[in-house]
């Protein structure tokens, strides 16, 4: 008689059956609170697992694409699983001297080696045109930090915040060349960059500069 191996069905993800929304202007996904109905457009009053108070929740919009654990807000996952928040770093008051630990004794003869400086990557290029017409960009500035949003780079893990730039094309008074607005975000460490066109309340990707840095190199 031959024994047959029976595979147990895979357990559904913790967010199965819950509303999943996307943070406005960012690729990170959030899990809506239980019983929340999907909004028809961008909303600022959707209670989330990481922000149950609707007044404190970030702006989100519906999401019906692929959902993976890596793409979901870590705070939402911790709240859904009942896991505690990570401990906040201990703050040392200014002007208070703190004794440093004694260095461990070197029991053998070890050769010292120089630690190379971290690599510097070429600045991500912004698209100069879209749809056959030129785009005028502003200078890169530090992106604002949004409450309940992790500003770290999704590619290299740099804690951020990164840089952002605004662009425009056309003339608001022209019928043949109407005004179009653009926005771009980049990581200042690995230069991962994505440029979007603002279409109403939505963002449509028009260019992406892939980083040459190793995956998760700054985590």
pLDDT at 109: 65
Look at residue 5 in the predicted model and tell me its pLDDT. Answer: 55
- What would the 3-class secondary structure string for 150-208 be? CCCCCCCCCCCCCEEEEEEECCCCCCCCCCEEEEEEECCCCCCEEEEEEECCEEEEEEE
Measured distance CA(47)–CA(40) in Å, rounded: 15
Helix (H, G, I), strand (E, B) or coil at 114: coil
Whether pTM > 0.85 for this model: the answer is no
The answer to whether residues 28 and 73 touch, using CB atoms and an 8 Å cutoff, is yes
Token output for 6: 């029976």
Closest C-alpha among 77, 203, 211 to residue 150: 77
> What confidence score (pLDDT) does residue 210 get?
92
Give the tokens for residue 52. 């149950």
Q: Which of 44, 53, 46 is nearest to 20 (CA)?
A: 46
Residue 117 tokens read as: 């400086």
Q: What is the pLDDT of residue 193?
A: 93
Query: Residue 78 burial by CB count (10 A; 0-12/13-18/19+): exposed, middle or buried?
Result: middle
Residue 9: what pLDDT?
A: 64
Backbone angles phi, psi at 179, to 5 degrees: -70, 130
Alpha helices in 82-134 (DSSP H): none
pLDDT at 62: 82
Contacts of 219 by beta carbon, 8 Å cutoff, 6+ apart: 156, 157
Parallel/antiparallel/unpaired status of strands 202-209 and 60-62? unpaired
Whole-number pLDDT of residue 216: 87
Instruction: Show pLDDT as tens, one digit a residue, over the chain (219 residues).
Output: 455 555 656 677 877 878 888 887 778 888 888 877 766 677 777 888 888 877 777 788 888 888 888 888 888 888 888 888 888 777 767 766 777 777 766 666 667 777 777 788 888 889 999 988 999 999 999 988 887 788 889 898 888 889 999 999 988 888 888 899 999 999 998 999 999 999 888 899 999 999 998 988 887
Closest CA to 148 of 19, 57, 87: 57
| CA-CA-CA-CA dihedral for 150, 156, 159, 164, to nearest 10 | -70
CA–CA separation, 118 vs 116, rounded Å? 6
Residue pair 31/72 in contact (Cβ under 8 Å)? The answer is yes
């Amino acid at each position: 008689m031959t024994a047959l191996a029976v595979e147990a069905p895979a357990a559904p993800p913790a967010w199965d059956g819950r509303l999943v929304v996307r943070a406005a202007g960012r690729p990170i996904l959030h899990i809506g609170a239980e019983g929340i109905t999907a909004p028809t457009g961008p909303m600022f009053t959707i209670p989330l697992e990481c922000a149950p108070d609707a007044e404190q929740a970030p702006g989100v919009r519906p999401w019906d694409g692929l959902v993976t654990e890596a793409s979901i807000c870590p705070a939402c996952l911790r709240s859904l699983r009942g896991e505690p928040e990570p401990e906040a770093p201990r703050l040392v008051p200014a002007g208070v001297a703190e004794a440093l630990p004694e260095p461990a004794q070197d029991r053998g003869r070890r050769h010292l080696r120089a630690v190379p400086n971290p690599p510097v990557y070429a600045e991500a290029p912004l698209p100069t045109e879209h749809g056959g017409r030129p785009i005028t960009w502003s200078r890169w500035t530090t992106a604002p930090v949004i409450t309940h949003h992790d500003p770290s780079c999704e590619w290299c893990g740099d804690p951020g915040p990164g840089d952002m730039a605004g662009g425009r094309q056309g003339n608001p008074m022209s019928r043949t060349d109407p005004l179009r607005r653009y926005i771009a975000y980049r990581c200042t460490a690995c230069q991962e960059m994505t440029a979007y066109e603002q279409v109403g309340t939505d963002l449509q990707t028009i260019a992406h500069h892939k980083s040459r840095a190793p995956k998760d190199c700054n985590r």
